Structure 1
Amino acid sequence: MILYHGSNMSIDVVDLKKSKRAKDFGQGFYLSKDREQAQKMAELTTFRQSTGEPTITTFRIDDSFLLDSNLNVKIFEGYTEEWAEFVLMNRRNPTSEPAHSYDIVVGPIADDKVGVQIRRFTMGYISCHQLMNELSYIKGPTIQYFFGTERAVQLLMRI
């Protein structure tokens, strides 16, 4: 499988310590199978940091990682209550200590549209059930791949 990482610079070596905290699936390295999504992320990162150039770094990983018994992998098939609670748990974790024990997490990205709905939920304006209904109207989820441990990162081969 080919995965893409969008940033304001080329990534030669993945350093999890440089990853931002309180992201969808926690502090880790995020990739996408969708090159266009990675390009958008590269442009956004470059704009926000006002430095560098939008850059996509490409990685290959053997699909069998999903079956590797040495890895703890979590896959969310779509927007679900479990996914929303997991994202909230991670976004509320300001520490560098993981809020979960997964090496790899695969699931929908919580983009700006999703973020607005999550904020409405956390502020008590809508129920978790209503949150799922709102999310079901958002045009198809973009899937992200989270690599949160050194063991997981070692599986990525830069192309």
Structure 2
Amino acid sequence: MIVFHGSTEIIRQPLANAGRRNLDFGTGFYVTDLRDQAVFWANRPVNNNRPHWLNVYELDMDGILNSGYHYLRFSSYDFEWLEFVVANRRGEERWQTYDLIEGGIANDRVFNTIELYAAGLTPREDALEKLRYEKPNNQLCLLRQELIDRYLHFIAAEEVTSSVAVKGKEKK
């Protein structure tokens, strides 16, 4: 499976423990199979005045699934996804028992719902009703360095601006 990571750096050898804490699926290396989502991430306003890179990888999902790694997949924005994301953002580290987690990203469209629910200002039923109409983007969080080293292979990096990629440019 081809996956992408939007960044201000070319990342040939990703690290599982280099990410921020208390994210949706824990501290790991995040990729997506949605190219536009990674390009958007690389071009976030916080990255202005820096290069924007789309890192492209091959992820051997068959190898991962056949090797006994603990894989958790959320197919929708449902109660289990909501509780898992909120718990991790609170620092509960439910992600610790998994090696790879896949599911929707808590992007701008769903962030407010999550924050209101986490603060106890929106009942669970209301939060789930709002999330029900959202089509999830997709993110995969690789949580173990061993998994990254064995099953995620760097292919290329493309410099990107907005939704247009400039192929073949790579810093040495």
TM-score (normalised: structure 2): 0.82
3-state DSSP class of the match of 1:16? coil
Matched-pair contact (CA < 8 Å) for 1:8–1:51: no
1:136, CA displacement in angstroms? 1.3
- Which residue identity lines up with residue 33 of structure 1 in the other structure? D
Aligned pairs for 1:32-47 (under 5 A) are: 32-44=32-44, 47=45
Query: Aligned match of 1:87 in 57, 70, 85?
Result: 85
Runs of 4+ residues deviating >6 angstroms: none
SS at 1:30 equivalent: strand
Q: Which digits, 9 at most, give the CA deviation of each residue in 1:50-104, with x for residues without a partner? A: 553110100102231452242010011111111111101111118xx77431000
Offset, 1:150: 1.0
How far apart are the structure 1 equivalents of 2:121 and 2:101? 28
- Write the letter of the residue equivalent to 2:153: M
Q: What secondary structure is seen at the aligned counterpart in 1 of 2:97?
A: coil
Q: 1:59 aligns with which of 37, 57, 60?
A: 57
CA distances 1:90-132 after superposition (whole Å, capped 9, x unpaired):
11118xx774310000100000221100111122222112211
Distance 1:76 1:98 in 2: 14
Distance 1:12 1:69 in 2: 23
Unmatched segments (≥5 aa) in structure 2: 156-172
Shift in CA distance, 42/49, structure 1 to aligned 2, threshold 3 Å: closer
1:150 corresponds to 2:145: yes
- Give the residue type in structure 1 aligned to 2:148: V
Distance 2:63 2:82 in 1: 24
Partner of 1:116: 112
Give the RMSD, CA atoms, in angstroms.
1.8
CA contact (8 A) 2:88 2:95 kept: yes
Partners of 1:121 and 1:53 in 2: CA distance: 36
In structure 2, do the counterparts of structure 1 residues 115 and 136 end up closer, same or farther at CA, with 3 Å as the change threshold?
Answer: same
Structure richer in strand, relative to its length: 2
Rounded Cα–Cα distance in structure 1 between residues aligned with 2:65 and 2:72 = 11
Identity %: 30
Which amino acid is 2:120 matched to?
G
Q: Give runs of aligned pairs for residues 117-132 of structure 1, distance below 5 A.
A: 117-132=113-128
Instruction: Indicate the structure (1 or 2) with the bigger Cα radius of gyration.
Output: 2
| Alpha carbons 1:81, 1:129 under 8 Å: kept | no
